[in-house]
Amino acid sequence: MSITLDSKIPEGPLADKWGNYIASQKLVNPANKRKFKIIVVGTGLAGASASATLAELGYQVEAFTFHDSPRRAHSIAAQGGINAAKNYQGDGDSVHRLFYDTVKGGDFRGREANTYRLAEVSVNIIDQMVAQGVPFAREYGGMLANRSFGGAQVSRTFYARGQTGQQLLIGAYQQMSRQVGLGNIKLWNRVEMVDVVNVDGQCAGIVTRDLLTGTFESHSAHAVVLATGGYGNVFYLSTNAMNCNASAAWRAHRRGAAFANPCYTQIHPTCIPQADDFQSKLTLMSESLRNDGRIWVPKDPDETRRAREVPEDERDYYLERIYPSFGNLAPRDVASRAAKRAVDNGQGVGPLKNGVYLDFSAAIERLGLEVVWERYSNLFEMYERITGEDPREMPMRIYPASHYTMGGLWVDYELQTTVPGLFCAGEANFSDHGANRLGASALMQGLSDGYFVLPYTIAPYLSELLNKPVPDASHEAFSAAEAEAKTRFEGYLSIGGTRTPDHFHRELGRIIWDYCGMERTEQGLEKALSEIPALHEEFRKDLRVTGDGNSINQTLEKAGRIDDFFELGMLMCRDALTREESAGGHFRAEHQTDEGEALRDDENFAHVAAWEWSGDPMAPVRHEEPLEYEVVHFATRSYK
């Protein structure tokens, strides 16, 4: 299959595009909607909101998750908040400003029309969630409260203490459950999608593996939506839930869906630093803490005193010093690199000298402990449980970690991938954030895609299929895909080597972190591209999966996911190597300003790189979607 990248951006001025689209798109009438079956894979914020809304509209929906309950999706972990251009604070916010901040935050590498629509729809999300009973924080007079997040000079982040994702997911889940109860959604849990099936060039369904019994099954539908989350766990250590993986997107990629900008990964500046080599998870400390916490390191790399004993004039509040106008709320990519520079410079703190301080003493002095505790107590308690240190007494120690992936399946304005009938929503697609995502905008995008975009944009595709039957799951394409998946999983079991999937994951993650992490070089990427295939070969020969394939076997599940991470890792490095510029989270050391900031090359790289699977993970085919800005002008991104 050869790929064509038609972004399908609607005609008209930027601010009218979405309105024009809605007014002129093809519709499916209410009586016909029930004739269409849609599979939604994933029940996080993007998948749950899409399933609930599509079912509410009258489509037959089947929703799949590998969790025991939709409520265990990784979205539950989101802490800090969700953006919306409501301007409740009267501090100068607007749809345009949110749009501009997002384009600038993404280092001018996002698609302008999608980003504008995201900002436009943001205001509806809050109303929708409030109507569903999500308990957002409120001010004394009853108005919804807001706080600030990185890369913005207004307060537009709505939150529910440090549990915003949990409260939002409960809201979306309850709408989904209502539709399950009404019989409009069939929910499949503990079931993993292991392949996508195309018939005559159109997506016709999926193949699944039941995680309890190991049974493979085919499911057909008129359209499939993947809302399967991001691939941050490719780094092994990340803030993502342990189960997050890239297999659904990767399997779709192998079936013809282009993968866009895989090298755009986000390293979040405020995570608890790694404590030892055998740690398997890193914990995020929400960006909201940077509203009141001040980041610093001792000026002297040989400093040995405890934080409190280091006098003010011997501390370097480096973000406030380098970026006076945004200070501690500099965007994530900028703040992460600054922390790395400080630690590389020997100024790191903590037993391994691998962190920087996030200090609340000034806020406690200014606002009182009660106010600070009210704002952040659950985060403080989480930090203390993990480190044994009380942030009220000692500054937190933080360091950047893999957190979010801006790359993902390429989608057009309708959220359709390069495979007709295969749509992609939420973190799994590449759409709105360019080369760096601003804080509190992933929840916004997931819910925008699921509640407000996909329910409109899926209709034109379906309308063409009216009165055509649901593709037949007994078609040979399904049996072939099922047989292939079975052979693959039996293969993992039969290798009989000596190393666990976790071993290979840790080694792979180390290579990707070292060479395709916060800083990349041509030499390092070339090295990664020789080491990853060699390690993959070792995986194929020396993998050991214990147990069998007919009952719960998490080692077997992991083997499949890590096999896919290997191929994705190769694509990430290839993408990073080919993008000869620095932009957002993609920092090529060869391309930086004299002050160490990212140096873009707009002439040659103002495009989305969308990769086509060629059958050989080391030889993917690169396509380009030019990024044409009608309203925004390229500018050097500055937070000074």
Ligand X SMILES: Cc1cc2nc3c(=O)[nH]c(=O)nc-3n(C[C@H](O)[C@H](O)[C@H](O)COP(=O)(O)OP(=O)(O)OC[C@H]3O[C@@H](n4cnc5c(N)ncnc54)[C@H](O)[C@@H]3O)c2cc1C
List of residues contacting ligand X (CB under 6 A)? 41-47, 64-67, 73-75, 77-82, 164-165, 192-193, 227-229, 239-240, 244, 247-248, 284, 403-404, 426-428, 440-443, 446
The total number of residues written for the chain in this structure: 640
Q: Which is nearer to ligand X, 14 or 160 (CB)?
A: 160
Task: Select from 194, 104, 158 the least CA-distant residue to 437.
Answer: 104
User: Closest separation between CB of residue 590 and ligand X, Å?
Assistant: 30
Strands (E), 321-444: 356-359, 396-405, 408-409, 422-424
Burial label for 298, CB within 10 Å (0-12, 13-18, 19+), is buried
Contact 268, 284 (CB under 8 A): yes
202: Cβ contacts below 8 Å, ≥ 6 apart: 419, 420, 421, 471
Query: What distance in Å separates the CA atoms of residue 156 and residue 553, rounded to the nearest whole number?
Result: 44
Query: What distance in Å separates the CA atoms of residue 554 and residue 243, rounded to the nearest whole number?
Result: 10
Query: What distance in Å separates the CA atoms of residue 375 and residue 409, rounded to the nearest whole number?
Result: 37
Q: Please write down the HEC assignment for all residues of 162-176.
A: CCHHHHHHHHHHHHH
Query: Helices 112-131 & 17-24, crossing angle to 10 degrees?
Result: 70
Contact 74, 433 (CB under 8 A): no
Contact 229, 109 (CB under 8 A): no
Contact 578, 622 (CB under 8 A): yes
Task: Select from 566, 531, 546 the least CA-distant residue to 492.
Answer: 546
Positive or negative torsion for Cα 30, 31, 34, 37: negative
Contact 585, 572 (CB under 8 A): no
Contact 627, 111 (CB under 8 A): yes
Query: What distance in Å separates the CA atoms of residue 440 and residue 425, rounded to the nearest whole number?
Result: 17
Query: What distance in Å separates the CA atoms of residue 256 and residue 260, rounded to the nearest whole number?
Result: 12
Burial label for 278, CB within 10 Å (0-12, 13-18, 19+), is exposed
* Cα angle 482-259-205, degrees, rounded to a multiple of 5: 30
Alpha carbon 310 to its chain's center: 38
Consecutive H or E run containing 341: helix 332-342
Looking at residue 614, its amino acid is: S
Burial label for 200, CB within 10 Å (0-12, 13-18, 19+), is exposed
Query: What distance in Å separates the CA atoms of residue 427 and residue 345, rounded to the nearest whole number?
Result: 34
Q: Which is nearer to ligand X, 156 or 294 (CB)?
A: 156
Query: What distance in Å separates the CA atoms of residue 433 and residue 403, rounded to the nearest whole number?
Result: 14
In whole angstroms, how large is the CA radius of gyration of the chain? 24
**Pairing outcome for strands 315-316 and 294-298:** antiparallel
Contact 584, 108 (CB under 8 A): no
Record the tokens describing residue 476, joined without a space: 């040979």
Bridge partners of 82, per DSSP, are: 158
Contact 109, 407 (CB under 8 A): no
Looking at residue 44, its amino acid is: G
- To which residue do tokens 């080694």 refer? 507
